[in-house]
């Protein structure tokens, strides 16, 4: 254990399991640990580092805004907030924006909006239908929304008003819809569950049901938004428009920012209903605006589609070589490799040794979410390191 890791163990709350790697520096797709070892980063801050580490455009934006205005409270108008909101509206199907600080907080805002909408338009309906194995964040209400007992049980009683039903099952949503329901909230692709892609028509069926019943459709695009799947937003691939959408992660490319957006018809919040001290501050808004503009102006979506495909093809070749790869799935640069056994941790450790950082959302599944600016050469380098890690872990477990 390095001294940093010993120091952490003494003072930091042990709320999660970390890899034994202490990162001190990043540039592009690469990061370095405190011993100077270089890694290729296919975790990307959990789908956050849209433009990679320390991208010059982001560094410039931070410098510019740090010299101009950090934060001035939402008692006043600030220009980067308005410009970012305009940019999001111009490039999505939504017309109103509220800027928050984290994905969970953006989702909380979306649910508050849905409850107010239920009061105004559905006689006080307040329940939100969400999916099992979803992930919507760690606040108390969002652990209720997140359909996973592991996140809920330690905090019971959890807030009422959320019904978790199987994903990719329209009948399950229909069965629990009542006069109390105000909204359905779903991820277009379930990220934390291990990159679960619903059937082609699922979101269309949900949209139709929401229209028929007068419910809001909230899409949590905290992980899928801002290009991750190869389109600006995931809803574009599903062929539906949400009434409300949440963003986070890749929106700021590494600075803490998130947002919820609504159609004009659903934007029922009025002065006094919601607020935030840090939400929408000039510093992060200027950076997020720079990130979104960069994605739009530099063919980044094209790159995501091309190199996402290259990565997936590479995994398929490895599947022929390593029989313990059960399934390869994903869209754009949100990809997963599922194994026949629970060997994610072994492969992860072997990958660290090879100089490749990976994420394991499930004991039998690895998730790949590198920066959206990854090059073909970096995809190939990552695949070569991954192949070496599979060989090492596979032979140690006698799977080869
Ligand atoms: C789909 C989705 N929603 C919400 C969140 C929570 O975001 P945050 O950790 O910024 O609160 C995440 C985080 O992984 C996510 O993947």
220 catalytic residue (yes or no) = yes
Whether residue 243 lies in the annotated active site = no
Query: And the tokens for 239?
Result: 């062929």
Domain span at residue 135 reads: 69-297
Averaged pLDDT for residues 84-88: 99
pLDDT confidence of residue 226: 98
**Residue 1's pLDDT band (boundaries 50, 70, 90)?**
low
Tell me which of 256, 271, 297 is where a domain ends.
297
Global pTM reads 0.98
Averaged pLDDT for residues 296-316: 98
Q: What percent of the chain has pLDDT over 90?
A: 100
Task: List residues near ligand 1 (CB under 6 A).
Answer: 46, 102-104, 107, 135-137, 187, 191-192, 220, 222-223, 248
pLDDT at 2 exceeding the cut of 80:
no
39 within domain boundaries: yes
126 shares a domain with 43: no
Helix (H, G, I), strand (E, B) or coil at 122: coil
**Residue 14 CB: number of other CB atoms within 10 A?**
8
Residue 363 has what pLDDT? 98
User: Among 269, 297, 325, which residue terminates a domain?
Assistant: 297
Catalytic residue among 33, 42, 98, 135: 135
Residue 59 included in any domain: no
Total domains present in the chain: 2
Q: Which helix (H) or strand (E) holds 165?
A: strand 162-165
Mean pLDDT (whole number) for 322-336: 98
Q: Tens of pLDDT along 245-299?
A: 999 999 999 999 999 999 999 999 999 999 999 999 999 999 999 999 999 999 9
Residue 64 lies in a domain: no
| Residue 376 counted as domain residue | yes
Look at residues 280, 297, 314 and tell me which one is the last residue of a structural domain. 297
Find the 106 Cα to ligand 1 centroid distance in Å. Answer: 9
307 in the same domain as 256: no
In the prediction, which pLDDT does 184 show?
Answer: 99
* CATH number where 348 lies: 3.90.1150.10
Between the alpha carbon of residue 369 and those of residues 123, 186, 267, 287, 364, the distances in Å are 42, 20, 32, 21, 17
Taking the C-alpha atoms of residue 206 and residue 219, their distance in angstroms, rounded to an integer, is 11
Across 147-168, average pLDDT: 97
248, 259, 369: residue to mutate for ligand 1 pocket, most atoms within 8 A of CB = 248
DSSP 8-state assignment for residue 234: T
Report the C-alpha gap between 196 and 147 in whole angstroms: 14
Residue 293 domain flag: yes
Q: Given the CA of residue 46, which atom of ligand 1 is nearest to it?
A: 14
Model confidence over 15-56: pLDDT tens digits?
Answer: 999 999 999 999 999 999 999 999 999 999 999 999 999 999
The answer to whether 392 is a known catalytic residue is no
Q: Based on the domain organization, do 251 and 309 belong to the same domain? A: no
């Amino acid at each position: 254990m390095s001294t940093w890791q010993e120091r952490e163990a003494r003072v930091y709350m042990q709320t999660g399991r970390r890899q034994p790697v202490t990162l001190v520096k990043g540039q592009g797709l690469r990061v370095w640990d405190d011993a100077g070892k270089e890694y290729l980063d296919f975790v990307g801050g959990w789908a956050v580092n849209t433009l990679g580490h320390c991208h010059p455009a982001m560094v410039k934006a931070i410098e510019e805004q740090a010299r101009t205005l950090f934060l001035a409270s939402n008692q006043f108008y600030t220009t980067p907030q308005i410009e970012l909101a305009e940019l999001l509206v111009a490039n999505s199907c939504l017309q109103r924006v509220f800027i928050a600080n984290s994905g969970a907080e953006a989702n909380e805002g979306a649910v508050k909006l849905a409850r107010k909408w239920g009061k105004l338009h559905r006689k006080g309906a307040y329940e939100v239908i969400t999916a099992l194995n979803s992930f919507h964040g760690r606040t108390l209400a969002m652990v209720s929304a997140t359909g996973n007992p592991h996140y809920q049980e330690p905090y019971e009683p959890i807030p009422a008003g959320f019904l978790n039903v199987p994903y990719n099952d329209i009948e399950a949503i229909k069965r629990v819809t009542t006069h109390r329901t105000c909204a359905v909230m779903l991820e277009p692709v379930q990220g934390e569950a291990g990159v679960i892609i619903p059937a082609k028509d699922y979101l269309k069926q949900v949209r139709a049901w929401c229209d028929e019943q007068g419910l809001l459709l909230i899409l949590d695009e905290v992980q899928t938004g801002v290009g991750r799947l190869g389109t600006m937003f995931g809803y574009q691939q599903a062929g539906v428009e949400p009434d409300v959408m949440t963003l986070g992660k890749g929106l700021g490319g590494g600075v803490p920012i998130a947002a919820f957006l609504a159609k004009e018809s659903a934007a029922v919040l009025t002065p006094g209903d919601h607020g935030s001290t840090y939400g929408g501050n000039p510093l992060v808004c200027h950076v997020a605006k720079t990130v979104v503009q960069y994605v739009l102006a530099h063919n980044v979506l094209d790159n995501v589609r091309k190199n996402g495909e290259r990565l997936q093809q590479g995994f398929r070749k490895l599947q022929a070589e390593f029989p313990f790869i059960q399934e390869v799935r994903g869209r754009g640069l949100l990809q997963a490799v599922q194994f026949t056994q629970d060997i994610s941790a072994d492969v992860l450790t072997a990958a660290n040794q090879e100089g490749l950082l990976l994420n394991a959302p499930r004991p039998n599944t690895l998730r790949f979410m590198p920066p959206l600016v990854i090059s073909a050469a970096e995809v190939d380098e990552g695949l070569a390191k991954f192949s070496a890690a599979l060989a090492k872990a596979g032979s140690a477990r006698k799977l080869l």
